[in-house]
Structure 1
Amino acid sequence: MSRYNIYPECHESGIAWLNKLPTHWELDRFKNIFKIQKRIAGTLGHDVLSITQKGVKIKDTESGDGQLSMDYSKYQIVKKDDFAMNHMDLLTGYVDISKFDGVTSPDYRVFTINEQKHHPRYFLYLLQLCYIAKIFYPLGQGAAQIGRWRLPTEAFNEFVTPVPTYREQQLITTFLDHETAKIDALIEKQQRLIELLKEKRQAVISHAVTKGLNPNAPMKDSGVEWLGEVPAHWGMTKFHYEIDLLEGPGILANDFHDEGVPLLRIQNVKDEFVSRDYKTYLSPSKVRAKWDHFRVAQGDLIISCSATTGLVSEVGEDTVGAVPYTGLIRLRPQVKASITKEFIRCLVQSDLFFEQIKLLQSGSTIQHFGPYHLQQMHITLPALTEQNKIAKAVKEKTARLDKLISIADQQIELMQERRTALISAAVTGKIDVRDWPAAA
C-alpha cells in the first residue's frame, strides 16, 4: 500500500478491528445508518431472489434445482437498490445491493440507507469486507459446524462502523470501483487460463485412453458412434467386468460421532490421495456390525457420484480402514482382472467416461450417477504393458499442466488477498484517496 497517500492526522478509534482512524472521521452504529425492512409480499408472481457470493440473483424456480419454497407469498419484498443480506450464515453467506425487484426468504435481512449523507456503495464495500475478513464472525450465534452461524439483529444494529464525510465516501467508492475492476479483470484472465489448461488436461487423458500413444497404430471401428476408431489390437469390455465398484452406504446423522472410524466425504476426495481432513466418525462396533465390507484398502480409488467433478483420489496407508459415505464410489481391479489401477484412474477422468455418463443420464433431471450407470458402461482395454505406458505418459503430461494450474490458482489467491487488503485500507482510513487520480 506504500504507493498510496496516508492521512496526516489519525487517532485511536477504540475499536479492535479498526485501530486508528483519520481524526475527522466519525464512528456510528448500523442502527443509525440503516433501516431494516420487513415487507411480506402477500401475493405470488414476484421474481424470487437468491443472495449468493456473486451477488443477488434471480432464482430459477422452474428447473427444480436447489431448495424451493411452496409459497413465495410469505417471502419478503426486496426493491431495487435495497441491501439484501444472508445473515443466517456468516461462513458462506453474503450481502449485496439488489439490482432487481423481487422477494427473498423471510429469514434474510433486507435494509436501506436511512439518510442521504450516507453513500450506499461505500457501506456495501464495508459490509462485504465484514464477511470476507470475518469481522462479523465473533458476533455470531448458532451452530457453525452445520453452517448456521448467524448475526443477530441486535448485534447488527449495535455494530460500530467508520463514517467518513459523504464526499470521501464517494471518492473511496470511485477509487475502489476502478482498482477492484482492474484486479477482477486479471483474476478473470487467470480463471480462463485455468479453464483452458483443464480442457487441455482432459484432452490429453481422453486421447491416450481412446487412441493410444502410437499415432501410426492400425485402427478399427470401436462400434460406438461417438467414440469412432480405436487401436486395432485393443479390446472393448464392460466397466464392471474389469473393475469392482461399490458405493458407500447411506448413514443417518445420529450415527455420526466425534471419534471412531473415519467417514470419507466429498471434501476428502480433492487431491491425488484421499485426505485425512475428517469431519465425521462412526462407532467402531456399528461399523463391524453393518459397514465393515465398505472399508477402503490401500490403493483403492475413490470417485464422486457427481458427473461434473472428475475427482479421483487414491487411498494411501494413512487412510486405510475409513468408510466412504454415500455419493462416493470405491473402485479397484477385479480379482484376476486385465486392468491396472493406474489405467482405471485415467479412464474415469476421460471423455470416454463422461460422455457415457451423459448418454446414460439422458432425459433424467438427476445430475448424479451410481453403480447402475457404471455397470452399463464400456471401456477400452489395451494390454497390461501398454496400459502402464499410457498411465506413465498421462501422469508426466498432466503433471506439467497441473503445475501451471497450481501457479494460476496461486496468482488468483494473491490477487484476491490484494483486493481485500485494498478495500480494507480504503474503507477504514488506512490510505488517503482524496487526491487519487484514476489515470494513475
Structure 2
Amino acid sequence: MRGYSKYQQTDIGWIGDVPSHWSKNKFKFLLREKTKTQNIELPCGSISFGSVVFKDSEKLTEETRLAYQEVLSGEFLVNPLNLNYDLKSLRTALSEINVIVSSGYIVLQSEGVVNKNYLKWLLFVFDIRHMKTLGAGIRQTITFKDIGNCTTYIPADDEQVAIASFLDRETARIDNLIAEKQTFINLLKEKRQALISHVVTKGIDPNVKMKDSGVEWIGEVPEHWCLGRVKHISSFITSGPRGWSELIDENSSSVFLQSGDLNNNLGLELKKAKRVSPPDGAEGVRTRLLGGDVVVCITGANTGRVAIAESIEETVYINQHLSLIRPKLKKIRPKFLAYFLSSDAGSKYYALTQYGLKEGLSLKNISETPLVFPSVDEQESIERKLDLELTKSTALLNSVLESIELLKEHRTALISAAVTGKIDVRSYKEEAA
C-alpha cells in the first residue's frame, strides 16, 4: 500500500512523521474522564484482550459491587494499574456493552472531536507504543492526566472514517483467519488425543483378539494384555512437601518443580522453574525426582496433567501439588505409563474421581488408577509408533501456531501504519472499489 505524498516531522516517538495535512492535538481535548457512577443493576465487566467483556460476579459481595463504577456502550475503558507487571495485555477498549467495573479503571467519554471508532484504534496504538512508558511508583499506575497531556496527530473527519472502516474490515478478516487456524489446532489436538487413547488401550495390531477390561471408559482391550492399577506397577508413589515455599531461593542449583512446569507434551520445563534450598533429612530424599519417574498434577487448574522425567541432569524436587510415580521397569516402561495416564483412559478416571464437590486428587486416587498394559517389548513398539506420529503432528501444530503469531504481528503493524499515516487507506479504498 502506498503512503501519502507529503509528510511533516514530529517529535513524538510513538507516532513518527505524519501526513502534512494532519493536525496536532492532545488527548485531553479528545476525551474527558467520566465521574464515577454507581449502577448496581448492571452486570459486572472488565477489559480482556482489548474488549470490554462480562465477567462472573457471583462471588462478589454487594459492598464490592457498590464500589464499582458504570461504563456504558460507546464509552472508553482504560486499565491504568500495574503497567510494569504486564507489558502484553491490551489496556484500552471502546465498550459495546453496559456494565460496572472496578473503581481502579478509568472511564472516558468522547468529546465529539473525532470519530469514536477511529479513536478506538488510535488508543490501541497509543497503548502498545507509548502508554506503558507512563506512570510512576512501584506499581507504575497512571491517571487520566498522564494520558490527557500526551500529544497526537489526527486527520480530518472523512479520513478518520476511512481509516476506521479500513481497520474494522481488515482486522475482521485477519481475526477470521486466526479463528480458522485455531479451530484447526483444536481439531489437531483432538486427533492427537484420540490416537494416544486408542493405541494405549487397543494396541497397534488391528486383528488381535479382544477382551472386556471391566472398566467402562476403557472398554475392550487386547486379550493378552494385563489388567491392574497404578499401585501394582509402581515401587513408590508420593506427593511433594508442604511449607517449602519459604525455602525458595533463586540462587540455589536445585529445581522446585510446580504444576505450571509440566507442558502439554509429557515434558518438563525446567529452565523456567523456581529454585529451592531443601532442608536436610528424609523429606528431601522422598520428594526428589529421578530419571524415569512419572509426575501427575493432583490439584489446581492443571489437575491430571502428566509428564515424564526422561533424563534429569539437575537436582529436582516436586512441590505439594504434584504426585510422583516410580514405575517398576520390569513391568512397565515410564513413557508408556505417561502416555496412558495422559490418554482419555486416565483423564476420565481423574474427572470421575473429582466429581461433585471434591477438588483435586489424593495419593490413593493415583494409586488406584485403573491400568491396562502389554509386555514391555510391545509397550516399546507402541511408544515408537506414538513418537513418530506425534512428532509429525507437533511439527504441523508448531507451523500453524507460528503462522498465527505472524498474522497477529501483521494485524498490529497494519493498525499502527494506518493510524499514524504511514499508509494511505483512501487509495486502498479507491483501488478496492
**Distance in 2 between the 1:310 and 1:13 partners?**
55
Q: Which runs of 5+ in 1 are unaligned?
A: none
**Equivalent residue of 2:428, what SS?**
coil
**Distance in 2 between the 1:406 and 1:178 partners?**
28
Query: Match for 1:126: what amino acid?
Result: L
Does the 8 A contact of 1:248 with 1:294 survive in 2?
yes
What is the 5 A alignment of 1:347-386? Answer: 347-364=340-357, 366=359, 368-386=360-378
2:322 is matched with which residue? 328
Query: Match for 2:250: what amino acid?
Result: D
Whether 1:226 and 2:221 are equivalent positions in the alignment is no
**Equivalent residue of 1:263, what SS?**
strand
**Distance in 2 between the 1:312 and 1:370 partners?**
15
Does the 8 A contact of 1:122 with 1:169 survive in 2?
yes
Q: Which stretch of structure 1 is more off in the superposition, 425-434 or 69-78?
A: 69-78
**Equivalent residue of 1:436, what SS?**
helix
- Taking a change above 3 Å as real, the CA distance of residues 290 and 234 of structure 1, as seen in their structure-2 partners, is closer
The correspondence for 2:202, drawn from 202, 211, 216, is 211
How many equivalent residue pairs?
424
Q: Which runs of 5+ in 2 are unaligned?
A: none
**Distance in 2 between the 1:425 and 1:158 partners?**
23
Whether 1:32 and 2:26 are equivalent positions in the alignment is no
Deviation at 1:58, TM superposition (A): 1.4
What is the 5 A alignment of 1:339-354? Answer: 339-354=332-347
Does the 8 A contact of 1:307 with 1:369 survive in 2?
no
- Taking a change above 3 Å as real, the CA distance of residues 332 and 188 of structure 1, as seen in their structure-2 partners, is same
- Taking a change above 3 Å as real, the CA distance of residues 184 and 238 of structure 1, as seen in their structure-2 partners, is same
Whether 1:45 and 2:41 are equivalent positions in the alignment is yes
Does the 8 A contact of 2:295 with 2:323 survive in 1?
yes
1:431 is matched with which residue? 423
**Equivalent residue of 2:408, what SS?**
helix
What is the 5 A alignment of 1:24-423? Answer: 24-41=21-38, 44-53=40-49, 55-62=51-58, 71-90=64-83, 91=86, 92=89, 94-114=91-111, 116-131=112-127, 133=128, 135-141=130-136, 150-243=141-234, 244-251=236-243, 254-260=246-252, 261-270=254-263, 273-278=267-272, 280-282=274-276, 284=277, 286=279, 291-305=284-298, 311-315=305-309, 320-334=314-328, 338-364=331-357, 366=359, 368-423=360-415
- Give CA deviations for 1:72-96 in whole Å, capped at 9, x if unaligned: 1111111121112222244235322
Q: Which stretch of structure 1 is more off in the superposition, 26-35 or 152-161?
A: 152-161
Deviation at 1:249, TM superposition (A): 3.4
Deviation at 1:415, TM superposition (A): 0.7
- Give CA deviations for 1:324-382 in whole Å, capped at 9, x if unaligned: 33433333314x6611111022112200011111211211374x445343233211121
Query: Match for 1:88: what amino acid?
Result: L
**Distance in 2 between the 1:150 and 1:414 partners?**
31
Per the normalisation by structure 2, the TM-score is: 0.88
**Distance in 2 between the 1:50 and 1:241 partners?**
50
**Equivalent residue of 1:348, what SS?**
helix
Q: Identity of aligned pairs, percent?
A: 30
**Distance in 2 between the 1:179 and 1:157 partners?**
29
Deviation at 1:181, TM superposition (A): 1.2
**Distance in 1 between the 2:294 and 2:414 partners?**
43
Q: Which stretch of structure 1 is more off in the superposition, 201-210 or 377-386?
A: 377-386
- Give CA deviations for 1:375-431 in whole Å, capped at 9, x if unaligned: 332111211111111111111111111111111101111111111110010011111
**Distance in 1 between the 2:146 and 2:245 partners?**
31
- Taking a change above 3 Å as real, the CA distance of residues 434 and 196 of structure 1, as seen in their structure-2 partners, is same
2:13 is matched with which residue? 16
Deviation at 1:141, TM superposition (A): 4.2
Query: Match for 1:361: what amino acid?
Result: Q
- Give CA deviations for 1:204-240 in whole Å, capped at 9, x if unaligned: 0000111111111111111122322111111221223
Does the 8 A contact of 2:278 with 2:284 survive in 1?
no
**Distance in 2 between the 1:267 and 1:130 partners?**
33
**Distance in 1 between the 2:283 and 2:140 partners?**
34
**Distance in 1 between the 2:312 and 2:376 partners?**
28
Q: Which stretch of structure 1 is more off in the superposition, 263-272 or 235-244?
A: 263-272
- Taking a change above 3 Å as real, the CA distance of residues 342 and 357 of structure 1, as seen in their structure-2 partners, is same
**Distance in 2 between the 1:127 and 1:331 partners?**
52
Deviation at 1:23, TM superposition (A): 1.7
Does the 8 A contact of 1:194 with 1:405 survive in 2?
yes
Deviation at 1:246, TM superposition (A): 3.4
Does the 8 A contact of 2:43 with 2:99 survive in 1?
yes
Deviation at 1:321, TM superposition (A): 1.1
**Distance in 1 between the 2:162 and 2:118 partners?**
9
Does the 8 A contact of 2:330 with 2:376 survive in 1?
no
Per the normalisation by structure 1, the TM-score is: 0.87
Deviation at 1:125, TM superposition (A): 1.8
Deviation at 1:322, TM superposition (A): 2.7
Deviation at 1:272, TM superposition (A): 5.3
Q: Which stretch of structure 1 is more off in the superposition, 202-211 or 149-158?
A: 149-158
